[in-house]
Structure 1
Amino acid sequence: MRSILFAVTLATAPIAALAETPCGGAFSSFVNDLKAEAVADGISSETADRFFAGVRQDPAVLRADRKQGVFQIPFVDFSRRLISNDRIARGRANGRAYDAIFDRIEATYGVSRGVLLAFWAFETDYGSFQGDFNTADALVTLSHDCRRPELFRPQVFAALELFAKGEFDPRRTTGAWAGEIGMVQMLPRDILENGVDGDGDGKVSLKTSAPDALMSGGKMLKSLGWRAGEPWIAEVDVPADFDWSLTGLETTKPTSEWRALGVSPRNGPLAGGLEASLLIPQGRKGPAFIAYPNFRVYFDWNQSFTYVMTAAYFATRLEGAKVYDAGNPDTGLDGDQMKALQTKLQAAGYDVGDIDGILGARSRAAVRAEQARLGMAVDGWPTPELLGKL
């Protein structure tokens, strides 16, 4: 799952970065340039030759990269698709099976077990399917492709470093189409920086060792800023007459202020002493969540708002939270309608990124601005009514 959603990570990358990263041209010449750069950076020519020998351009990787339909699914539908009773049961069973490992992760990195269990479930269905794309081919193919070379080119050299250490086989290592490897889908650079030998066998084996994968994931989350012992998200009830313009990640308030505004938790008390945001992924009539600082770390793992909301919520379910109240959200827009809305917003001067039918952060911000201008409830949820008024 991460590889599908990973494709949007550099959506907000500076244009200069795109222009400065070599890409395109004859594939063989591109590979030769990669080898020359590796040697210039201190890799032996023999090692570089062995790593790149047989590397090929993979059209299936490019086809997978162009598929974006999953991003158009709203939170309620997306979360129901990914979270099943079976996945919850297997997640809790894995929590018991690896109880000692999760205790170590919580003690060492401060990451709660539900968080890693949710990633493990969504990324590879608890390790059962880790992807069958050749990783070296995928990374070089996406580096050669000029859509986001600045994202993938550094990962090629990270994989080469792993190869030089005897920890990567360029012809046999497989994973997701975007180059992630192992049970929690980590990129080569992540593995270099955060790989942990969790089972004590002297190796970091993210594909075959759950302790290694989980400990590595915990270390990575800590390196991204995870705050030990703090929550990440919790479902809340919000008064019907609430000022919806206060919702969204752009606004943070102490939990005491949210309580004073009538926001009340559905699963235990609001955490005291923390800043938080109020999130309504499908508008004021849908589910509502309070998001704490740790929630923002999720976006360093993945840039999709819907995925992040679902993974964070699933983590709370695995730790005993109730099923969220889906409410009765207003009808949203299908993919074509969303593209039409983005086209209108772009024509009005908003930066919505690509016209892709995806309600990303920039599209959501533009929707909120237009809702305010039109005197509508400012909840960031685009509806046919809004489309019609534009």
Structure 2
Amino acid sequence: MSVFKTLIIAGSALTLSAAMAAGAPCGNNASGFERWKADFAKDAKAAGVGQRGLQALASAQYSTATIRADRNQKSFKYSLSKFMSVRGADTIVAQGRKRKAGNPGFYQSLEKHFGVPAGVLLAIHGMETGFGGFMGDTPVVSAITTLAYDCRRPQFFIPHAIGALKLVDRGTITANTRGAKHGELGHTQFLPGNAYSYGIDASGDGRVDLYNLADALASTANFLRKKGWKPGKGYQQGQPNFRVIKEWNAASVYQQAIAIMAARIDG
């Protein structure tokens, strides 16, 4: 797989505040969602969202599946050993080693450009989607706008909702693109705001596509590097790059699992 013949960074970081949605009150069920969308459309337009993005917002549906998933994240409460067992760590490590050996030049090129070892990228890829085996079945725009509307964590999800609408404007996704229950998309399950800010065209086809393996893994490496990854430094607990893994996922058990699996993959 050729990579980095053309390398395009998708966009600048989103710096959006939950305060921007002051006119759009949150809710805990579907009853206020349509009103919220109408209010949020004004904020989205002020934030630079164009007509295609606004149309995607207008067609978004309240996602009860997203809310159920958000209220039922049991695995992050497991012990490390149980979490790794439930998430299939041994299988991820075995498949990660196989993939690295099968395409060493690709992973070497990623590490050369971004300083992020193959094991880290493969551990994330395996953990998030089983190496692309399942990238989600929930409409991204509906999922992320539901979470931006929901009263539990609107301040976190509002910038990602804006990011998703801007991705629609850019043609990176459509109103019907499907991803995970929390609106993550692609091989490594980027939240939309991060996809907008850190997405890279590594395949050289002129567009950022997180459902393309080269784009997804290069974008993941770019995210980690921009978040402070130090090439050549360790990434286990207590080492310089472990804090960067925390930027990918806030759950401690997830962070530890990624670091352990990555080290096993890199051997």
CA spacing shift, 1:22–1:227, aligned 2, 3 Å:
farther
RMSD: 2.2
2:154 aligned partner: 149
Displacement of 1:113 in angstroms is 0.5
Q: Percent of aligned pairs with the same residue?
A: 35
CA deviations over 1:108-144 (Å, ceiling 9, x no partner): 1100110000000000000101111111110111111
- What do residues 27-81 of structure 1 show as CA deviations (whole Å, max 9, x unaligned)? 111111111122233444x435422232110111111100032122111222233
Q: CA deviation at 1:152?
A: 1.0
Q: How does 1:312-327 map to 2 (within 5 A)?
A: 312-320=259-267
- 1:189 equivalent in alignment to 2:136: no
- The residue number in structure 1 matching 2:248 is 301
Deviations 1:228-275 (A, max 9, x none): 011112xxxxxxxxxxxxxxxxxxxxxxxxxxxxxxxxxxxxxxxxxx
- C-alpha distance in structure 1 between counterparts of 2:109 and 2:123, whole Å: 18
Q: Which residue of 2 aligns with 1:219?
A: 222
Which of 32, 36, 40 matches 2:42?
36
CA distance in 1, matches of 2:158, 2:63: 15
Aligned residue number for residue 232 of structure 2: 229
In structure 1, the residue corresponding to 2:200 is in which secondary structure? coil
Task: Label 1:302 to 1:86 Cα distance change in 2 as closer, same or farther (>3 A).
Answer: closer
| Displacement after TM superposition at 1:194 (Å) | 1.2
Q: In the TM superposition, what is the alpha-carbon distance from 1:18 to its structure 2 partner?
A: 11
In structure 2, the residue corresponding to 1:122 is in which secondary structure? helix
More helix by share: 2
In the comparison of the two structures, how many residue pairs are matched? 247
Structure 1 distance, partners of 2:130, 2:53, is 34
Q: Residues 204 and 96 of structure 1: is their aligned pair in 2 closer, same or farther, counting only changes over 3 Å?
A: farther
Q: Give the whole-Å Cα distance in 2 for the aligned partners of 1:301 and 1:42.
A: 26
Q: Which gives a bigger RCO, structure 1 or 2 (Cα 8 Å, sep 6+)?
A: 2
SS at structure 2 position matched to 1:291: coil
Contact 1:21 1:149 survives alignment (8 Å): no
Would the aligned equivalents of 2:120 and 2:259 in 1 still touch at CA under 8 Å? yes
TM-score (norm 2): 0.86
1:120 to 109, 125, 133: 125
State the 1:154 CA deviation.
1.2
Whole-angstrom distance in 2 between the partners of 1:218 and 1:49? 30
CA contact (8 A) 1:115 1:315 kept: yes
- Listed one character per residue, the Cα deviations across residues 147-171 of structure 1 (whole Å, up to 9, x for unaligned) are 000111111111111111111201x
Tell me the distance in 2 between the aligned counterparts of 1:225 and 1:138: 29
If you compute each CA radius of gyration, which structure gives the higher value, 1 or 2?
Answer: 1
| Unmatched tracts of structure 2, length 5 or more | 1-17
Partner of 1:336: none
Residues 22 and 149 of structure 1 are in contact (CA less than 8 Å); yes or no, is this contact kept in structure 2?
no
CA contact (8 A) 2:45 2:54 kept: no
Aligned to 1:201: 205
Unpaired stretches in structure 1, ≥5 consecutive residues: 1-14, 234-289, 321-390
Preserved CA contact (<8 Å) 2:119 2:262: yes
Deviation at 1:291, TM superposition (A): 2.5
For the 8 Å contact 2:20–2:43, the answer to whether it is kept is no
Identify if the C-alpha distance between structure 1 residues 183 and 225 changes in structure 2 by more than 3 Å, giving closer, same or farther: same
Give CA-to-partner distance per residue, 1:328-386, whole Å, 9 cap, x none: xxxxxxxxxxxxxxxxxxxxxxxxxxxxxxxxxxxxxxxxxxxxxxxxxxxxxxxxxxx
Letter aligned with residue 63 of structure 1: R
TM-score in terms of structure 1 length: 0.60
- 1:128, 1:58 → 2: CA distance? 23
